[in-house]
């Protein structure tokens, strides 16, 4: 449950954005004009996001610095060899991988920015070797977000019975209408939903508790997988308060949109759930696509539509594919196919609704 109501989005007119044919040349020093770009305001506390897009580097790098003229800080992430992104890190940042492509965004707390100067370099650092095939998974307390009609931190306007989640760090905040950071969240009743991370919260905004202490942004003395709000609520950590000095009223480590809460997991009350942070894993990945913007795809116990429905996968959510098998032929947004993907033990989804999977092996 969220305690500060987000404000509805506001945007500036987009002007002077380069077309693909006018893409900037590869370089390790570049400047972005922010003044004419759209600003999306939302989330709680209220922040503004200015997406600066991707940039090709002339030389591979793992460190990025940024100088902002005006208000704001810069988030940066790097493209991994498997085509997935690292988490967003606030510049100056050392990325967990050396990369030739980075993406940046300006995060505003008030006011506006006019220009950003960025520099990428190679510095000594250990490469990330902690990525596990299944991704990191922790049991945390889930609350229902609600706030229909409000605007999330990435600019999404919340619909009735919506399908997304919020995590208390923008390091895992996906772009609007993207699932490049998605979770698998499972309830004790055996149901699961795959949903994109489209908001920041509950309670904190710099608590990437799924990361080890070496990279966790705040609360580094807490065990990996334990949200600060949980420690504050259960153990009076930080005097029982969140990062903003508010008294923590529940141990929540994830917020669920109403559709995820009621329809995906069939919850009736806030509850403990098991969350897998899918971007921390490896292996074949695909993106769920439905014809409706707020649509979902049934996840079934077997490779046919007569098998029991054991969960949902939201539009734009990413799914990790364990293997593929032949089953009932289904027609969907990606054509007609008799291939089904196993995305967890006893959980299957029709290929006809999943885009971009490559390298899946037979079950």
SS3 letters across the chain: CCCCCCCCCCCCCCCCCCCHHHCCCCCCEEEEECCCCCCEEECCCCEEEEEEEEEEEEEEEEEEEEEEEECCEEEEEEECCCCCECCCEECCEEEEEEEEEEEEEEEECCCCEEEEEEEEECCCCCCCCCCCCCCEEEEEEEEECCCCCCECCCCCECCCCCCCEEECEHHHCCCCCCCCCEEEEECCCCCEEEEEEEEECCCCCECCCCCCCCCCCCCCCCCCCCCHHHHHHHHCHHHHECCCCCECCCCEEEEECHHHHHHHCCCCCCEEEEEEEHHHCCCCEEEECCCCCCCEEEEECCCCCCCCEEEEEECCCEEECCEEEEEEEEEECCEEEEEEEEEECCEEEEHHHEECCCCCCEC
> How far, in Å, are 166, 290, 298, 348 from residue 267 at the CA level?
17, 23, 17, 21
Quick one: pLDDT at residue 7?
A: 32
Quick one: pLDDT at residue 9?
A: 32
pLDDT in tens, the chain (363 residues): 454 333 333 333 222 333 333 467 899 999 999 988 999 999 988 999 999 999 999 999 999 999 999 999 999 999 999 899 999 999 999 999 999 999 999 999 988 899 999 999 999 987 665 555 779 999 999 999 999 999 999 999 999 999 999 999 999 999 999 999 999 999 999 999 999 999 999 999 999 999 999 999 999 999 999 999 999 999 999 999 999 999 999 999 999 999 999 999 999 999 999 999 999 999 999 999 999 988 999 999 999 999 999 999 999 999 999 999 999 999 999 999 999 999 999 999 999 999 999 999 999
Whether the CB-CB separation of 255 and 207 falls below 8 Å is answered with: no
Could you tell me the pTM of the whole model?
Answer: 0.91
CA distance 213 to 165: 23
Quick one: pLDDT at residue 128?
A: 61
Q: Tokens 């993907």, residue?
A: 341
Quick one: pLDDT at residue 44?
A: 86
Quick one: pLDDT at residue 8?
A: 30
> How far, in Å, are 22, 23, 197, 293 from residue 18 at the CA level?
5, 6, 28, 27
Nearest to 161 by CA among 260, 74, 59: 260
Quick one: pLDDT at residue 230?
A: 98
Quick one: pLDDT at residue 111?
A: 82
């Amino acid at each position: 449950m969220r305690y500060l109501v987000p404000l509805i989005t506001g945007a500036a007119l987009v002007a002077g954005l380069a077309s693909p044919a006018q893409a900037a040349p590869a370089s390790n020093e570049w400047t972005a004009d922010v003044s004419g770009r759209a600003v999306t305001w939302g989330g709680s506390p209220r922040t503004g996001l200015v997406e600066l897009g991707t940039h090709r580097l002339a030389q591979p790098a793992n460190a990025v610095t940024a100088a902002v003229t005006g208000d704001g800080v810069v988030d940066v992430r790097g493209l991994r060899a498997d085509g997935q992104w690292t988490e967003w890190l606030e510049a100056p940042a050392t990325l967990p991988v050396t990369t030739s492509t980075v993406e940046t965004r300006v995060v505003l707390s008030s006011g506006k920015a006019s220009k950003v100067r960025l520099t990428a370099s190679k510095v000594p650092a250990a490469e990330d070797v902690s990525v596990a095939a299944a991704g990191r998974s922790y049991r945390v307390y889930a609350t229902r977000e609600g706030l229909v009609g409000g605007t999330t931190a990435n600019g999404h306007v919340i619909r009735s019975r919506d399908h997304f989640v919020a995590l208390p760090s923008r390091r895992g905040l996906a772009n609007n209408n993207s699932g490049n950071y998605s979770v698998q969240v499972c309830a004790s009743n055996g149901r699961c939903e795959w949903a994109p991370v489209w908001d920041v919260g509950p309670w904190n905004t710099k608590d990437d508790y799924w990361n080890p202490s070496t990279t966790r942004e705040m609360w580094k003395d807490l065990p990996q997988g334990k949200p600060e709000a949980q420690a504050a609520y259960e153990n009076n950590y930080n005097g029982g308060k969140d990062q903003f000095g508010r008294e923590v009223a529940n141990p929540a480590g994830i917020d669920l949109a109403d559709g995820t809460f009621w329809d995906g997991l069939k919850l009736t009350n806030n509850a403990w759930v098991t969350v897998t942070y899918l971007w921390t894993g490896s292996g074949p990945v695909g993106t769920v696509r439905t014809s409706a913007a707020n649509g979902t795809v049934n996840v079934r116990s077997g490779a046919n539509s007569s098998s029991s429905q054991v969960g949902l996968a939201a539009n734009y959510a990413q799914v990790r594919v364990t293997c593929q098998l032949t089953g009932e032929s289904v027609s969907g947004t990606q054509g007609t196919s008799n291939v089904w993907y196993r995305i967890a033990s006893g959980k299957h989804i029709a290929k006809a609704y999943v885009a971009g999977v490559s390298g899946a092996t037979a079950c």
